[in-house]
Structure 1
Amino acid sequence: MSELLALDNVTAGYGESVVLEGISFAMQEGDSLALLGRNGVGKTSLLVTLMGLTRMHGGKIRWQGGDIARVPTYLRAHAGLGWVPQERFMFPSLTVEEHLTVVARPGEWDVKKIYEIFPRLQERRNNMGNQLSGGEQQMLAIARALMVNPKLLLLDEPMEGLAPIIVQELMRVIRQLVVDKGMSVIVVEQHARLALSITKRAIVLDRGQIVHESDSESLMQDKDKLDRLVAVAH
């Protein structure tokens, strides 16, 4: 497999404020990564840095071999970075189906395939974005990112605030994407064991730096280390 994404000593933040310092890691095509850590350590900042929404103070971001550190956000999306932010960003004036079709790009994912994995969205296809429950909005946010036909899917706290039955449904879909379809994914998730159960590798951040990197299975099995590194519900 060829290299998909690589960060080389990335330092970034907001204005003059540095949030991430010296971040280096690489992902191959088909790789999946759990991005863990306590609140406020830079997990979301790392995702938005990949999307070009922070200020780079140093380092390089390579995407399929090319440096994208100065590439605008919309071109990163066109190049295959699919982002599902915490905020979901539903458009109240668009129906579910319009949310999907307005961003559609050629590739494997189309409306028919989206409805196959998210039948609830098909049932609600004529509802407006603000008429959906929180769980349905999260499904739509993931579905919308898939319609861009990304090469790498960035999921920021996809289970946050959702009922257990919805969490189970979303976990089924994400596991299907990662395990069955071999999609490359980075998952930021406070519930560490959920993220570790659907990924191959794990990185733990603390104060904007990588303090642990391993395969997901070994970290999940080492309860003491997981508690020490993450110290949140898992």
Structure 2
Amino acid sequence: MAELLRLDHVSAGYGDAVVLEDISLAMQEGDSLALLGRNGMGKTTLLVTLMGITRLHGGSLTWKGGDLAAVPTHQRAGRGLGWVPQERYMFPSLTVEEHLTAVARPGPWNVEKVYGAFPRLKERRRNMGNQLSGGEQQMLAIARALMVNPSLLLLDEPMEGLAPIIVQELTGVIRRLVQDSQMAVIVVEQHAKLALALTQQAIVLERGQIVHASSSQSLLDDPQTLTRLLTVA
């Protein structure tokens, strides 16, 4: 597999405030990464840095061999980055199907394939975005990102606040994406064991720095380390 993404000694934040410090990591095509850490440690900031929303204070971001920092924010989805933010950002004036077709780009994911992954969205395809339940909105947020046909899918707390049956359904979809696709995936998730069970690699952030990097399975098999890294002191 070719290298997809590389961060070398990246420091980034908001305005003059530095949140991420000296972050280095690399991902190949089809890789999956659990991004873990307690609240406020920089997980979301790392995702939005990839999307170009923060200020880069140092280091380099390389995407498919080119300088990602030079790519304007509004062009990054077109370059192959799919982002599912915590806020979901549904448009009340658009139907489910319009949410999907408005962002569609050529590739294997089209409306019918999305409906195959999320049958509930097909049932709701004529409903407006604000007429959906929280779980349905999360399905639509992920489906909309898939319609961009990304090379890398960024999932920020995809299970937050959802009923167990919806969590189970979304977990199945994400697992199939990781196992059956050439798409790379980064999962930010407070349910650490769930994120580790879905991914191949894991990193843990502490105060904006990487304090642990390993395979997901090895961290899952070491509950003492997992608890130490994620327990609030």
Distance 1:71 1:164 in 2: 39
Structure 1 residue 17: Cα displacement: 0.2
1:64 maps to: 64
Distance 1:217 1:231 in 2: 19
- The amino acid across from 2:204 in the alignment is V
Distance 1:217 1:111 in 2: 34
- State the number of aligned residues: 232
- The amino acid across from 1:36 in the alignment is L
Is the 8 Å Cα contact of residues 52 and 70 (structure 1) preserved in structure 2?
no
1:125 maps to: 125
Distance 2:219 2:231 in 1: 13
| Ranges in structure 1 where 5+ consecutive residues have no aligned partner | none
Structure 1 residue 180: Cα displacement: 1.8
Matches within 5 A, 1:64-143: 64-143=64-143
1:39 maps to: 39
Q: Deviation digits for residues 75-124 of structure 1, max 9, x if unmatched?
A: 11100000000000000000000000000000000000000010000000
Question: Partner of 2:77: helix, strand, or coil?
Answer: helix
Q: Deviation digits for residues 171-210 of structure 1, max 9, x if unmatched?
A: 0000010012242000000000110001000000000000
Is the 8 Å Cα contact of residues 151 and 182 (structure 2) preserved in structure 1?
no
Q: Deviation digits for residues 20-49 of structure 1, max 9, x if unmatched?
A: 000000000110000000000000000000
Question: Partner of 1:6: helix, strand, or coil?
Answer: strand
2:145 maps to: 145
Question: Partner of 2:76: helix, strand, or coil?
Answer: helix
Structure 1 residue 70: Cα displacement: 2.8
- The amino acid across from 1:151 in the alignment is S
Matches within 5 A, 1:1-234: 1-231=1-231
Question: Partner of 1:78: helix, strand, or coil?
Answer: coil
Structure 1 residue 69: Cα displacement: 1.1
- The amino acid across from 2:8 in the alignment is D
Distance 2:138 2:73 in 1: 22
| Ranges in structure 2 where 5+ consecutive residues have no aligned partner | none
Distance 1:23 1:70 in 2: 18
Moved more, 217-226 or 66-75: 66-75
- The amino acid across from 1:197 in the alignment is A
- The amino acid across from 2:209 in the alignment is Q
- The amino acid across from 1:75 in the alignment is Q
Q: What's the RMSD between the two structures over aligned residues? A: 0.7
List structure 1 segments (4+ residues) > 3 angstroms apart after TM superposition: none
Distance 2:71 2:16 in 1: 20
Distance 1:6 1:57 in 2: 16
Is the 8 Å Cα contact of residues 145 and 153 (structure 1) preserved in structure 2?
yes
Output the TM-score relative to the length of structure 1: 0.98
Q: Deviation digits for residues 140-190 of structure 1, max 9, x if unmatched?
A: 000000000000000000000000000000000000100122420000000
